[in-house]
Structure 1
Amino acid sequence: MAVEQRSSAGRRISEGYVSADVERFHGETHRSERDDFARDRARVLHSAAWRRLAAKTQVLSPASPADFARNRLTHSLEVAQVGRELATNLRLNPDVVDTACLSHDLGHPPFGHNGERALNDWASGIGGFEGNAQTLRILIRLEPKVMDDAGNAYGLNLTRASLDATCKYPWTVDAPVPDPGGRLKFGVYPDDEPVFRWMREGAPGRVRCIEAEVMDLSDDIAYSVHDFEDAVVNGYLNPARLSDPAEHEALVSAIQSWVGYDFTRDELDDALYRLTRLPVWLRSFDHSRAALARLKNLTSELIGRFARAATAATREAYPVEVMTRYHAHVVVPRVVEAEVAVLKGIIGATVVSIEGRKSIYKEQRRVLKRLATALWQDGAHALDPVFAADFRDATNDTERKRIIVDQVASLTDQTALAWHRRYVGDIDPADVGIWSPGFGIGERRH
């Protein structure tokens, strides 16, 4: 019979977790016995950083005419829904996974991954910019919630288990790993390493906990399926092309050029075949209510297909009672990984890499770089009050430049343009892919 565990504060600890998992970097006392992991989730859900995701680009700009399209907040909610179901099926704490899923995109700057590239270039002399490291920085330092009597900020001060679950890349900038696009991925900036080291106490080096793996898989599932749905609804993708034999070879080539060569052409070919032969696969789309219903049923089927396969494979690989933290790892069948990659490749080939959008992506990067330079030149008085205080307290230019990056990364797509107008000069929103009043709802500027 399992013995119920309690934290040092006397609160019950979720099954499969231990007292170290519910510790916080800065000790806290609370009047209620509310579950520590539920408290973590609520802190993220009520944070300003999370609310700002509503105005940050997922694939299509949240200010585009495509008002059906996901933004980073709705995407995060959908990731959390997938993650919570996987966590329940694997007997992980759902709130820990939910917190990680809700948090996973907090560090994204304006204009999504394109904005990441811009800030990484601008910050090259101070260690660059990485969205996941920025997420950790928000959670442990920037988001106003917990402070000590000396005025030191601890961000949301999440428990060790929840914070570790948000960490997709559990290593420092000294040993990064390149992604398929060549960007260096790491999980923490040098000045945030003390909390990172505390978070990773007892963890195997460079290994993610299972809750972080569930978060990452849920992100892949939600991104691949829901962005596919958006692309169909908003006219970027004709589903008839995906089942057309005459288009097949060119389509597989485009998918492979986007996802890289971790999968062979035969694997991608087979995955595309399996998907397009599903009974619920969409053969055409005419924007009718019936077509929208069929598309929604397809997305539900795909999410269930991927989640069920991963759950079954993980249970088979780890026939144990407890899978939490470092007791097990998520197993995703190779064929499912290939199917997810095919959906990502379709989005990449038909939406993200549209030839006409290259000038938009270039201008987005220029906007953020010019804005960062202007703020650097103007100093503290140009920043929001919290960042202005950080800027004045900084002891060297490296710290001050990092604060400029924090400020720019915190902006939404629209506020980045507003700040650009204020500190650099006017710019047509259409030049960066954002719809503005006076532009027809049914029109797109690419």
Structure 2
Amino acid sequence: MPHTTPGNALGYSAADVERWVPEPPKSKSRTPFERDRARVVHSSALRRLGAKTQVLGPGSDDFVRTRLTHSLEVAQVGREMGRALGCDPDVVDTACLAHDLGHPPFGHNGERALAEIMAQHGGFEGNAQTLRLLTRLEPKLFAADGTPVGLNLTRASLDASVKYPWRRGEGPRRPDGTTTHKFGVYPDDVPVYTWLREGAPEHVKCMEAQVMDLADDISYSVHDVEDAIVGGKLDLAVLADPDERGRVVAAVRAWYGDAYDEAELDAAISRLEATGHLMRGFDGSRRALAALKDSTSQLIGRFSGSAQAATREEYGDGLLTRYSARLVVPSTTSAEILVLKGMAVAYVMAPRELEPLHHQQRQVLADLVEVFSDKAPDALEAPFAADWLEAPDDAARLRVVVDQVASLTDVSAYQLHDRWVSPR
């Protein structure tokens, strides 16, 4: 059973607060988990998220969410949910703030571009890149032999940041024998990954990671729809048209799989309509903005409250930390979250994939990888140039180049492309 150690939060053991590289004793004015959160808050990787795409590009208007604002919102939702379930709120907060650190420029579009480039060299995945940042790339601490160890977070906080606790191609098997393309660690980061997963059941996320994952799902499902409404890309009045409802349902099944049939997803839309929180007729006025924000808050409370109630019903009162419990999300709640995602897909994300800009973004990243590989180490920033010079082979050098490209913001990717690929 989880226990407490002096200066640590209730429900956590001495192993949970261990760090990959031991550090000198610190003042007891803060817990180790509070230090973890502070290290992420002060990281350069978190600052860069302010100029990285969430769904719409950061420069599209002043209202649109970026990866940074999304991460802050996820942290707020996750922290409250975690506290209600007995998790240490700083562990959950740290995981939520960190969960998108590894995403490259241009959102999932950029992630797919780098995944194609790295397909034969260990792959590329945003969550695996997050682990790499936290444990290697973000400058904070070095081991005695000079090896960088990133932010050197505690085991509990690192484990909470791992959304996909398996190596590439080793995830849980589906009924048809396939596995997800998502994964949480690259081959050369396996040592620290093995350390942080000590004692963890195979393929199981710790409770704090499950809370982070749900907070992420809740936040981007609700907020992407909010952004689409404010941006004039979606009026929820269209859901009165059976064909448009079918479009949303088809988008869910095409992008997120067939766990729910058409009738179940249509019923989820009907339940959400019955709440009165699917705002229609948005006119951009201050009153409309306030009403939309209230609808957003009500939906967040609906989803998180449902999971909290179901989890407490299953496990009762007490501290639900690490591997002492699993987060229970009712099937109806998952379906409602999915149909909100489907609305964003149908009216924003899928149409965007047909735009020339979508293909141009992928080409920008492919061009940068090519030119940086050709002109390394001179074209690389100093930390990555040093990594490149120390890399033992071509595959390792390519990984360093991709580390550099993934670290860029949308703006800096274009600027470097202008400088190195298309000089004026």
What does residue 44 of structure 1 align with? 40
What does residue 89 of structure 2 align with? 94
Q: TM-score, normalised by structure 1?
A: 0.90
CA distance in 2: counterparts of 1:368 and 1:302, whole angstroms: 36
Q: How does 1:99-138 map to 2 (within 5 A)?
A: 99-138=94-133
What does residue 261 of structure 2 align with? 264
2:221 to 202, 220, 224: 224
What does residue 435 of structure 1 align with? none
Q: Relative to structure 1, is the Cα distance of residues 289 and 331 closer, same or farther in structure 2, using a 3 angstrom cutoff?
A: same
Q: Which stretch has the larger CA shift, 416-425 or 256-265?
A: 256-265
What does residue 382 of structure 2 align with? 385
What does residue 70 of structure 1 align with? 65
Summarize deviations over 1:119-163 as a string: whole Å, max 9, x none: 111112211101100000000000000113432111000000000
| Cα displacement (A) at 1:81 | 0.3
Q: How does 1:41-440 map to 2 (within 5 A)?
A: 41-64=37-60, 66-176=61-171, 184-244=181-241, 247-319=244-316, 321-354=318-351, 357-425=354-422
| Cα displacement (A) at 1:3 | 11
Q: Is the 8 A contact 2:352 2:358 kept in 1?
A: no
| One-letter amino acid matched to 2:382 | P
Q: Is the 8 A contact 2:50 2:68 kept in 1?
A: yes
| One-letter amino acid matched to 2:268 | A
Q: Which stretch has the larger CA shift, 276-285 or 412-421?
A: 276-285
Q: Name the % identity.
A: 54
Q: Relative to structure 1, is the Cα distance of residues 425 and 304 closer, same or farther in structure 2, using a 3 angstrom cutoff?
A: same
Secondary structure of 1:290's counterpart equals: helix
Secondary structure of 1:167's counterpart equals: coil
Q: Is the 8 A contact 1:242 1:276 kept in 2?
A: no
Q: Which runs of 5+ in 2 are unaligned?
A: none
Q: Is the 8 A contact 2:171 2:180 kept in 1?
A: no
Secondary structure of 2:267's counterpart equals: helix
CA distance in 1: counterparts of 2:264 and 2:188, whole angstroms: 43
| Cα displacement (A) at 1:63 | 1.5
| One-letter amino acid matched to 1:49 | A
Q: Which runs of 5+ in 1 are unaligned?
A: 428-446
| One-letter amino acid matched to 1:298 | S
| Cα displacement (A) at 1:323 | 1.3
Aligned residues: 420
Secondary structure of 1:406's counterpart equals: helix
Q: Is the 8 A contact 2:247 2:346 kept in 1?
A: no
CA distance in 2: counterparts of 1:227 and 1:172, whole angstroms: 30
| One-letter amino acid matched to 1:5 | T
| Cα displacement (A) at 1:84 | 0.5
Summarize deviations over 1:85-110 as a string: whole Å, max 9, x none: 10111011000000000000000000
Secondary structure of 1:120's counterpart equals: helix
Q: Is the 8 A contact 2:2 2:11 kept in 1?
A: no
Q: Is the 8 A contact 1:243 1:276 kept in 2?
A: no
CA distance in 2: counterparts of 1:396 and 1:412, whole angstroms: 27
Q: Relative to structure 1, is the Cα distance of residues 249 and 396 closer, same or farther in structure 2, using a 3 angstrom cutoff?
A: closer
| Cα displacement (A) at 1:282 | 1.2
| One-letter amino acid matched to 1:141 | R
Q: Relative to structure 1, is the Cα distance of residues 129 and 178 closer, same or farther in structure 2, using a 3 angstrom cutoff?
A: farther
Q: TM-score, normalised by structure 2?
A: 0.95
CA distance in 2: counterparts of 1:326 and 1:182, whole angstroms: 23
What does residue 23 of structure 2 align with? 28
